[in-house]
Amino acid sequence: MSLHTSPEILPFELDAIATTEGRIVVFADPESPLPPAARRADKLTRGALARAVASQGFARLSPGESITLAWPGGLQAEALQIIRLPRKPDAAALRKAGTSIGRAQDRAPCLICLDRLPVEPVLQAALLRAYQYEAQKSDPKPGFGPFSVMLRNPEAAHATLDDLRARVAGVHLTRDLVNAPANVLTTESFAAQIAGMADLGLGIEILDEAALEEAGLRALLAVGQGSDSPSKLAILHWQGAEGAPLAIVGKGVMFDTGGVSLKPGAGMEEMTMDMGGAAVTVGLMQLLAGRKARANVVGIVGLVENMPDGRAQRPGDVIRAMSGKMIEVINTDAEGRLVLADALWYAQERFAPRAVIDLATLTGAIIVALGHGKAGVFANDDALADAFLGAAAEVGEGAWRMPLDPAYDELIKSRIADIKNSAGRPAGAITAAQFLQHFIRPGTPWMHLDIAGVALTKTESAHAPKGASGWGVMALDALVAARFEQR
Where would I find the H helices in 302-427?
A: 336-351, 365-370, 382-395
d(CA 339, CA 317): 16
101: left (phi over 0), alpha (psi -120 to 50) or beta: alpha
**300 contacts 346 by C-beta, under 8 angstroms:** yes
Q: What are phi and psi of 281, to 5 degrees?
A: -60, -45
Check 40, 337, 374, 420 and give the catalytic one: 337
Per-residue buried b or exposed e for 126-162, using 16+ beta carbons within 10 Å of the residue's own CB = bbbbbbbbeeeeeeeeeebbbbbbbbeebeebeeebe
Considering Cα of 102, then 103, then 104, then 107, what sign does the dihedral take? positive
Order the strands of the 147-151 sheet from edge to edge.
8-11, 147-151, 110-115, 23-28, 79-84, 66-70
- By DSSP bridging, strand 246-256 and strand 296-306 are parallel
Helix (H, G, I), strand (E, B) or coil at 83: strand
- By DSSP bridging, strand 399-401 and strand 110-115 are unpaired
DSSP bridge partners of 296 = 239
Burial of 406 (0-12, 13-18, 19+ CB in 10 A): exposed
**399 contacts 378 by C-beta, under 8 angstroms:** no
User: Is-catalytic flag, 263?
Assistant: yes
Q: How many residues does the chain have?
A: 487
- Within 8 A by CB and 6+ apart from 441, the residues are 348
Q: What is the DSSP letter of 295?
A: S
> Which residue type sits at 248?
I
Check 39, 218, 263, 320 and give the catalytic one: 263
User: Is-catalytic flag, 60?
Assistant: no
d(CA 195, CA 192): 5
d(CA 441, CA 386): 21
d(CA 214, CA 321): 12
Catalytic residue numbers, as ranges: 263, 337
